[in-house]
Structure 1
Amino acid sequence: MVTTFTEYHPPKASTGGFWQQIGLPARGRRLHELLHEGVEYRVYPNLAKVSGIEQKALARYVDIPSATLSRRARSGRFKMAESDRLYRFAELFKAALDLFEGDAEGARAWLLKPNIGLGGRKPIEMSVTSAEYQTVLNLIGRLEHGVCA
């Protein structure tokens, strides 16, 4: 009997690790509140550092123009939609990190490489919309369970 999994199911929230390093809770009510309030600017450089993605490139991947980024640095907080895109990017990176068993370089390389399972697109470019984000998470889920992409 063969069981097929087609969706990525993130691991349960833990105390520390990746989410603590970037400055966000992994799940739960506090995360939801922060996303509505707008996450603090410090999350952005933390996410860039942890993911190994240059800050300018990260801004492109999450669709935050440089002028907006400068305003957010001064105000200290992102708007709700920007916060959501930052969280989706973090979630994609964490899912890739889990796929590569904690190998950040392997996860980053996979995210930056065009993927046949995504129609030749780079996974890292697919965190801006929820539909694209979900497509990448589903692909990661299939890969984790050995289902052909």
Structure 2
Amino acid sequence: MLTSVKEYQPEESISGSIWTALGLPSRGATLFDLVRTGLPFEFLDQIANLLQIKREVIAKAIWVSPQTLARRAKAGRFSTIESDRLVSLIAVFQVALALFESDVGAAKDWMTSPVRGLGSKRPLEMLGTRAETEAVLDHIGRLERGVLA
């Protein structure tokens, strides 16, 4: 009896880093200044397209209500806190991409699915606070090292 093994093919990958694709520095004074003054609103659509996640889902992940999102669209920029949360989202997704060997679809699926090691929460839901973001990054680190949570 012959059985075939379907070869794994990643859906889509990002060559390089998300930071480069967005035209953002991953660290340093320029990033600090951008966050402090507020990231331009256009970054939301760029991030949504790159990560294949709806902008409303990203807005909810960074704790921005639909009403606030409409105000930010009008103003053209996010607040410092919202910008910081967007940067956290990018950083976590970049690490998740590394875990899934640049497979955007696999990283997105992991980010939007309940994870047992995170108390069955979705990593995307854990970006509102620094403590939650650190927990997600720690969990990814444990997965990379093969340590069970």
- 1:1-149 alignment to 2 at 5 Å? 17-149=17-149
Q: Which has the higher contact order (CA 8 A, sep 6+)?
A: 1
Deviations 1:4-43 (A, max 9, x none): xxxxxxxxxxxx6311322421111110111111111111
Contact 2:112/2:123 (<8 A) preserved: yes
Instruction: Tell me how far 1:57 sits from its aligned partner.
Output: 1.2
Aligned residues: 134
Deviations 1:80-114 (A, max 9, x none): 01101111111111111111010000001111111
Structure 2, unaligned runs of 5 or more: 1-15
Runs (4+) off by over 4 Å: none
Partners of 2:102 and 2:89 lie apart in 1 by 17
Contact 1:19/1:25 (<8 A) preserved: yes
Structure 1 stretch displaced more, 131-140 or 40-49? 40-49
Contact 1:38/1:77 (<8 A) preserved: yes
TM-score (norm: length of structure 2): 0.85
CA-atom RMSD in angstroms = 1.2
Partners of 1:38 and 1:89 lie apart in 2 by 15
Q: Counterpart amino acid of 2:81? A: A
TM-score (norm: length of structure 1): 0.85
Q: Counterpart amino acid of 2:61? A: Y
Contact 1:115/1:122 (<8 A) preserved: yes
Partners of 1:99 and 1:17 lie apart in 2 by 13
**Secondary structure at the counterpart of residue 30 of structure 1:** helix
Contact 2:18/2:90 (<8 A) preserved: no
Q: Counterpart amino acid of 1:143? A: L
Greater Rg, structure 1 or structure 2?
Answer: 2
Q: Counterpart amino acid of 1:53? A: I
